[in-house]
Amino acid sequence: MKNKTIITIILLVIGLGIGLALNQEKSTVRPVWAHNVQWLGEKPDNAQIIEELLWFEIAPYKTEYDFVNISSKGNATQMRISVTAKAVDSEKPDIYDFSYQDDELLLTGYLLEAVPQMFRNEAIGIALSDKDLAASIRNSGEPSVKRILPKTSEKFYAPKTLLSVTWKGISALVDPDERKVVQVWREGETGK
């Protein structure tokens, strides 16, 4: 009887271990496009949960992230999360700011410039196809190209990923799929 009890306890421990291990394996799966993920500074206790939430919120644009650096400020229940992601085919990174509270992650800001050179050039070419804009920018140097997320794009065109091509004082919102300029902004304009 004593042996049976010991065997039962061992089986219980093994079973629980296998179950948790299987789950652990499932929950630590990172997207294939995130190659090196690193927490900078102190890693919060709930880092794993935050990471899982992050993979629903961030994604590279037609490329893969070589490095994803995550940093946090605050306590376990309320914190500010900053993510800087670098892609191999782009000089500039994608930067995301989040607030984390009550187990929810909220995107509070982003600056996404990790656009591969080919798509960057393409966007500039599309922007310059707007004759009025092309005449206005004259030789203002190279513009910045930023990815605009559907949540923002919806207010100006449609809920889809767009690219913002910006020179000093003038910007074109480009739909890369339709290859067209959907809005133009000039400094001093109050909005369209």
Partner 1 sequence: MNKFVYGSILILALVMLTGLAAGSEVIMESIPVTDGMVAEQAINFTKLEISPPYINIMLQPGESKETTVTLKNKEKKAVSVKPNTVLAPYGGYNVDPEWIKVSPENAEIPAGGSQKFIIKATVPMDASIGYSSVQIAFTDEIMPAPYPNPFPSYIHALQVSLDIWTTPKIQIMTPYINDMLEGGKEYDYEIKLKNTGKETINIEPMMSSDNNRYSGQFGQMSAAFTDDAITISAPTNVPPGATEVVKVHVKVPKDAKGSYNGAINMNIDDTSIQPYEGMVQMSFNVWTQPAEAFERIFNLKESAPITIEISSGNNYNPYGQGIGANKKEPSFKTTLFGPTGNVDIKSTKTVIKGIVNMGGQIPPWELDSKGIYQENGVQLIETFKVSGSPGEWKLKVLPKNTESFEYSILIGE
Q: What single DSSP character describes residue 1? A: -
Whichever of 71 and 152 has its CB closer to partner 1, that residue is 152
In the complex, least distance from residue 113 CB atom to partner 1, rounded to whole angstroms? 9
In the complex, least distance from residue 176 CB atom to partner 1, rounded to whole angstroms? 9
Whichever of 39 and 156 has its CB closer to partner 1, that residue is 156
CA angle at 38 for the pair 34 and 42, rounded to the nearest 5°: 150
Q: Cβ distance 153 to 162 under 8 Å?
A: yes
In the complex, least distance from residue 22 CB atom to partner 1, rounded to whole angstroms? 6
Whichever of 41 and 192 has its CB closer to partner 1, that residue is 192
Q: Cβ distance 60 to 33 under 8 Å?
A: yes
User: How many whole angstroms separate alpha carbon 125 and alpha carbon 123?
Assistant: 5
